[in-house]
Structure 1
Amino acid sequence: MSNTQKINSTITHASINKCAIPYIRYKLVKKPPEKYIKSLQLDLFSQFVTNDKSEVSNTVEIWESIPKYFLTPAQVKKLRTDTGHADPYEWNYSEKGGNFTVRIQPALIKQGNNKYQAFFPGITEELVEEALKKILTIQNHGIHDVNKVETWVRFSLRMVLKELASRGRDRNINQIKHAIEVMSSCVITLSKEKKEIWKGSILQDLVTVGREEYLADTDAQHIGRLPLFISHAINQLEYRQFNYDRLMSCDEQLTRLIYKKLINRYRHANLINNYHFMYSDLKSTGLLQQNREIDNRKKVLSALNELKEKNIIANYETDERKESRAITDVKYIIYPSNEFISEQKAANKRNSDSDKHSIDPNLISVNKS
């Protein structure tokens, strides 16, 4: 069962919330398509409403709402046994009224002493995933099979290195190679109400060159399959344009998460409305695990201040909820910047343009219902 993926081809934000996912099993394809597949869905995924295509990418909320990059190196060190191994880590969270559990089975990676050590995905893997999704939009670097619901991204270590460096997120080749290994070897299991609904890796069915060539040639091409959530989003046009360059410029992981939340939830941002979220909702993401709640709240304020510095929001307010003298929750009220408003309008237009294509008979299997 460890290699079984379970998901329905009409999955939407609402359907995962309702757990309307029949147990349809797909055989894993261990090799990418031998021939190029023409896909209008991938073409739409790669088209943006912008003056500078290099600055934008796509967010897939249904995939990105699953916590998976929240463990810190210090936490991972504590989870390891004396032999360097670690048990799977479980995290319970709530999403749109549903109770979910994500279980992360760590990657076991051979070390220089010939012993294996457990690694969980973290910040570097998060950034590499963003880079790979951006590379997917570059011509000839993505393959999308509409009927099999599969999406493959073709890349080299050097491409990822250059992409990260161009966004100020420098990682060396060994760090990128390690991240790719973690992403392809860890196993994530998603359950709702204790019922398993999906299982797989962040980067699946990785096809790579031999070890010697892999180490010697950082321009050698690799290809891996992205999770079914992303493939279904491409089929169903369930993704959203955003300022990728601005996201990657954010230093704090929590800032990036809140920014993604605003992109997907605050779609009609303007100067006469605002958006709010609760501290308790952010706690579900796994990024607020300080020992003291006051330190967690300071971390949120730091992220909000960075959002202001990056001109994503114009201002914010806090509304503390108390019982007696204890703070039980905090409401954060967000006011958008003019730039964010403009970017959301562009994303809305892009969605509208894509929806017009969804009735095209050449777009196989697109069903927005």
Structure 2
Amino acid sequence: MKTPEIAKTKFVRPSVTAFECQQIDLFQDFLVNHNFQREPLSNTIELWDALPKYSISQVEQNKMRTKEGLLPLLRRDVTFMRNNYSIYISPALLADENGQAYYPSANESLVEDALRKIATFQNQCFHDLKDMQCGVTFSLHQLRTELKNQGHTRSYQEVIKSLLILSGSDIEIRTKNAKGEGVSIEKFISLTGFSRKDRLENPDSQWVAYFHPLVEKAMRYVDYRQFNYSEMMHLKSHLARWLYKKLAHYYTNASLTTPITLSHATIRQESGMLERARGNDAIKELEEIFKNFQAINVFSSVKRIEDIRGPRNKIINIIYEANPHQNFIKMVKAANKRQADAKEKLLQLHVTTGKTITQSTNWPL
């Protein structure tokens, strides 16, 4: 077997030139008819947003902790684009009043999404093509304001805690395919460029967050799609937000005549959620999300077309057929055109400069 390659990034302060490149311009440019339509939009990232990395709730974590406040290494397996991935999450051990360990969960997912939205603002996103790093500059006040605007008010202490959990947790991603075995071990995000005193006492001090290498790779190759970030952020559950991004990213052929087939078992396995003691509770939870998607015009209708049963007539899977709403179809078509246009612009840049561009492989190594 081929020896796995381990990727571990070293971070330095972004240079001035890192804030000026074609990749940033494309990342921040959305396809809209009017400027006001840009406000609710952001980018969903290929593979990175599909991974079940925020799947353990705080309630579940409380049940898993040892009496010393520790948590075990967490494993999740997922199939993406016909590749099998195993992810291992090492919890962050915080020096808080309890000295407890934390997995990144729904709160941290909201913070990361808000940071990626801030990265679409002018002069705040950077991308270093030489060191293959990208990220965002921000202040605690700006981050709290963005979260509040999206219906998630957080105190300074709560936001700092989420940032420390994100920067203290390692995520190891393993894949095995025809090219061999690959391993990447990174932080969810990395923080640098400020003192502890500044970050705790001055809400306007500038923070620097480096995104995961999968986000950088997506920015490099335009493997991201525009979507209605604001609508996603206002959904009540983390599972609903995860599924919304999945629909926005992967159902690129949505049309009034092409229903979307959804599997309860697949959603449970890929999201790492819906593991309930009573199977009916999981079914009810997912079907409530489908009803909500109808209410916000993602689906025009949803029907349960097949119950798959196992021993003792127990339901082991349910197949649904959803008809996309015209609003969702418009969003998908705009995202399709914007991505195609961006890839063409990037290709032309490489042709003009004489540089070569390699094909994205959905893997950071």
Length-normalised TM-score, structure 2? 0.89
Aligned counterpart for 1:40 among listed residues 2, 6, 22: 22
Paired residues for 1:198-209 under 5 Å? 198-204=184-190, 206-209=191-194
* C-alpha contact 1:189 1:196 (8 A) present in aligned 2: no
Structure-1 separation of matches of 2:155 and 2:193: 19
Shifted more, 195-204 versus 91-100: the winner is: 91-100
1:260-302 alpha-carbon deviations (Å, 9 max, x no partner): 1211221122211111121111111111111121111111101
How far off is 1:140 after superposition?
1.1
Is 1:107–2:92 an aligned residue pair? yes
Aligned counterpart for 1:311 among listed residues 291, 297, 302: 297
CA RMSD in angstroms comes to 2.1
Alpha-carbon spacing, 1:203–1:266, altered in 2? closer, same or farther (3 Å) = same
What SS does structure 2 have at the residue aligned with 1:49?
A: coil
What SS does structure 2 have at the residue aligned with 1:116?
A: coil
Alpha-carbon spacing, 1:40–1:193, altered in 2? closer, same or farther (3 Å) = closer
Aligned counterpart for 2:339 among listed residues 348, 351, 355: 351
Paired residues for 1:129-140 under 5 Å? 129-140=112-123
Alpha-carbon spacing, 1:26–1:279, altered in 2? closer, same or farther (3 Å) = closer
* C-alpha contact 1:208 1:214 (8 A) present in aligned 2: no
* C-alpha contact 1:103 1:190 (8 A) present in aligned 2: yes
* C-alpha contact 2:264 2:317 (8 A) present in aligned 1: yes
Structure-2 separation of matches of 1:365 and 1:294: 53
What SS does structure 1 have at the residue aligned with 2:17?
A: coil
Aligned counterpart for 2:307 among listed residues 315, 320, 327: 320
How far off is 1:26 after superposition?
5.6
Matching residue of 1:30? 11
Code of the residue aligned with 1:192 in structure 2: it is T
The percentage of counterpart residues that share the same residue type is 26
Matching residue of 1:338? 326
Length-normalised TM-score, structure 1? 0.88
Structure-2 separation of matches of 1:280 and 1:147: 42
How far off is 1:307 after superposition?
0.8
1:202-227 alpha-carbon deviations (Å, 9 max, x no partner): 112x1153333222211110002111
Paired residues for 1:1-369 under 5 Å? 28-37=9-18, 38-50=20-32, 51=34, 52-112=37-97, 116-192=99-175, 197-204=183-190, 206-284=191-269, 285-318=271-304, 319-323=306-310, 325-360=313-348, 361=350, 366-368=357-359
| Unmatched runs of 5 consecutive residues or more in structure 1 | 1-20
How far off is 1:66 after superposition?
1.3
Code of the residue aligned with 2:346 in structure 1: it is S
* C-alpha contact 1:235 1:365 (8 A) present in aligned 2: no
Structure-2 separation of matches of 1:366 and 1:253: 36
Alpha-carbon spacing, 1:70–1:26, altered in 2? closer, same or farther (3 Å) = closer
* C-alpha contact 1:250 1:310 (8 A) present in aligned 2: no
Alpha-carbon spacing, 1:121–1:240, altered in 2? closer, same or farther (3 Å) = same
Matching residue of 2:363? none
How far off is 1:365 after superposition?
5.3
1:180-199 alpha-carbon deviations (Å, 9 max, x no partner): 00000001111235955211
Code of the residue aligned with 1:278 in structure 2: it is S
Code of the residue aligned with 2:340 in structure 1: it is S
Matched length: 346
* C-alpha contact 1:91 1:101 (8 A) present in aligned 2: yes
Structure-1 separation of matches of 2:186 and 2:163: 15
